[in-house]
Amino acid sequence: MNASNTSYKTGANHLQEMDNVEHLERLTRMKTLPVLLPTLMISTVQEEGRLLADMLVSVPNVKLTHVSTSQVDASYFQAHRLLVLQLPKDHELALQMLESYAGKCEYMLVVGEHFSPELMREAMKAGARDYLPLYGAKEELFKALFDVADAVAKATALAPTFVVLNSKGGCGASFLAAAIADQFACRQEDLKVALVDGDHVQAGQSHLLNQEPEYFFHHALAQAEELDESALIGMMSQLENLHLLSAAPFSQQDRTAVNYLQLPQLMFKLRSCYQAVVVDLSRGPENWANPILMEATTILLVMQDSLASLRSATATVNHLINDLGVARSRIQLVYNRYSPKNRMVSLADAKSTSGVGIVFTVRNDFQRVNTCLDEGRRLSRFAAKEQVTRDVAEICQQLIPMEQESQPSGFWTKLWR
């Protein structure tokens, strides 16, 4: 009896794991909505809406609540931005449904098997952004969702995301991610900066910033749906206005520790809580991180002075553009450990071979970089005037320009402020 129960549970767990793997594969192939989209779907009978509900939840960043008309409560409308109505086959009931739910949510989509001219007119009068065939192409539904999400994004203040990505192992992405986040926080004390460690094997950021975290990336992922702003900030290691979401060493090897299905929600909440988000992807463009790469404001691809590194950088650029749909304009090279005099790869070579038009340089300063790596010291604090720090500051200035404080402070200036 016990053996039978154990076997059944193991089989169920295996099926659940298979479902998660399939969902994750869809997640990493599909473009993520730019914002979290709380969506309320209403159908006359809940079972009849199963097909549409499955299509909706397959889109990353759609947070779906599906109810029947008999289960609708007024509180549902307040908690959701988008209302999706699945109209019944009965024409009169469909008209009644449109009339009942018109204007209940900020945005509305209408889905049905057949649309008469009258239904189309009433749907538009009810405020629907679009009306879609139930058995039509999934692409039509996805496009309508993206249109709504874009409208929500334009009305939502979200922080830019800067991904620091190694073209080849050892190019220095972890150090540069920490230095860039540190520089953002140092130059503007009222700017809240989040640094996310995406290396779930070595997990080096907690050592770089000399932290002993209590909570890790996988803890935040597991609770992404429930986390509010104070809870999320409480999970971060805090260094004044620089907050680190650490990775746990070798957590990627444990399938039970990290579940990436909630990644889009976690990134949305980080971008909502902070004014700049820096992500360390020193292990390169791993499959789990595709949603981050596809939505990044800027990808800083790190290379160094070697032909092998340049080849890897070029291959990575092609992967980002051709496989993930990243616009070339969102990719910028960082030539790390750069030496103006003795170099194998010139800046012109880096640009022409990779096809990337913007190349930043960070000078080779072995002594000070090693101090950061070995002692966990922040570059901006102990080497503020050194060239390597000025190079990092220039990258930050290009990413988030900060006005120079050189304005006059006379009487007329104050009067007209």
The DSSP string of 94-163 is: HHHHHHHHTTSSSEEEEEES---HHHHHHHHHTT-SEEEETTS-HHHHHHHHHHHHHHHHHTS----EEE
Token pair belonging to 12: 């169920």
Closest CA to 105 of 69, 70, 72, 80: 80
Closest CA to 196 of 289, 118, 112: 289
Residue 58 backbone phi and psi in degrees, to 5: -75, -10
pLDDT at 136: 79
Cβ 355 vs Cβ 317: under 8 Å: yes
Q: Please give the single-letter amino acid code of residue 195.
A: L
Cα separations (Å) of 200 from 83, 87, 373?
Answer: 38, 46, 18
Token pair belonging to 192: 């809240």
Is the sign of the CA dihedral 292, 312, 202, 237 positive or negative?
A: negative
Residue 250 backbone phi and psi in degrees, to 5: 60, 20
Angle, vertex CA 214, rays to CA 209 and CA 220, nearest 5: 95
Cα separations (Å) of 374 from 158, 337, 378?
Answer: 34, 18, 11
Q: Helix 173-187 crosses helix 366-375 at what angle (to 10 degrees)?
A: 90
Task: Say what the pTM is.
Answer: 0.76
Residue numbers in the chain where pLDDT is lower than 50: 1-12, 14-15, 18, 21-22, 24, 26-28, 405-417
Domains in the chain and their CATH numbers? 35-154 (3.40.50.2300), 161-399 (3.40.50.300)
Cβ 149 vs Cβ 264: under 8 Å: no
How many Cβ atoms from other residues are within 10 Å of residue 272's Cβ? 15
Closest CA to 109 of 88, 133, 87, 84: 84
Cβ 291 vs Cβ 283: under 8 Å: no
Token pair belonging to 82: 């988008």
- Separation of CA 230 from chain center: 19
CA distance 40 to 53: 10
The three-state secondary structure class of 185 is helix
Cβ 183 vs Cβ 360: under 8 Å: no
Q: CB under 8 Å to 299, separation ≥6 — which residues?
A: 163, 165, 293, 320, 326, 330, 331, 332
Is the sign of the CA dihedral 44, 46, 52, 58 positive or negative?
A: positive
Residues paired with 362 in a beta bridge = 336
Residues paired with 238 in a beta bridge = 243
Token pair belonging to 110: 């209408």
The three-state secondary structure class of 337 is strand
Closest CA to 296 of 199, 162, 138: 162
Through-space distance between the first and last CA atoms of the chain, rounded to whole angstroms: 80
Cβ 339 vs Cβ 306: under 8 Å: no
